[in-house]
Structure formats: C-alpha cells, structure tokens
Amino acid sequence: DTGVSQDPRHKITKRGQNVTFRCDPISEHNRLYWYRQTLGQGPEFLTYFQNEAQLEKSRLLSDRFSAERPKGSFSTLEIQRTEQGDSAMYLCASSLEGVETQYFGPGTRLLVL
C-alpha cells in the first residue's frame, strides 16, 4: 500500500498561466477529495468524486477550476488563468466507501507570482 501521492509537490507559475495537478489515490479507494489549505488555516473542501462521478463541488471552486477523474482512479485538478489568490497548498485525500477515514497525500504547494 503506497498511500496517496500527488504530483508535482511544488509549482511556481506566473499569473494568468494554467496549471494542472495530479493525485493518485490508494488503489482500492473509490472516493477522492480535493481540499485547499492556505497559511494559518485548516483545509477547505473543494470537490469530491465517487468513482468517476463528481458528486459535490464547493462554491470555492470557481469556473477557473476543473477537476476530473476519468477512469475512477487518478484525478487531475486544473486551474486556468491563475491569480495570486490561488497560491495555497492543494491537498488530495482518498477513502473507501463505508470507511470514514480519509487518507491524505503530501500536497502540491502552488505559488502564483
């Protein structure tokens, strides 16, 4: 069991550029979550997948943000036309249906200049 992995671990980009992050959940987990964490705050929920279906999206997820999980395994989170306010740690977690615990990856730290 290799745990949840995220790639890249760090990303620096210029305002207006697009970025894409990848999350690989624990292999048998059918639920996948994206959260965003800014300095001094707890994580904030962004979106949630059960298998390939995106079942919930936070109002924090503006139309510049899109997430996919095409085959119910890995997921991508894309941010278009990045803004300085998008600078944060983006966390991915996975869980198994019927089990309450979410397991977190190490996160992708985004800095928008």
- Count of alpha carbons within 13 Å of 74, Cβ hemisphere only? 10
Residue from 19, 43, 77, 88 binding other proteins (CB under 8 A): 43
Residues 6+ apart with CB under 8 A from 1: 26, 27
Residue type, 55: L
| Nearest to other proteins of 14, 42 (CB atom) | 42
Taking CB under 8 A as the rule, does residue 104 contact other proteins?
Answer: yes
Distance in Å, CB of 54 to other proteins, minimum? 12
Q: How far apart are CA 21 and CA 79, in angstroms?
A: 9
Taking CB under 8 A as the rule, does residue 41 contact other proteins?
Answer: yes
Would you mind telling me the total number of residues written for the chain in this entry?
113
Cβ–Cβ < 8 Å for 66, 46? no
Question: Judged by CB under 8 A, which stretch of 21-29, 59-67, 71-79, 105-113 contacts other proteins?
Answer: 105-113
Distance in Å, CB of 106 to other proteins, minimum? 4
Residues in the site for other proteins, rule: CB under 8 A? 4, 31, 33, 35, 40-45, 48, 55-56, 91, 93, 95, 100-107
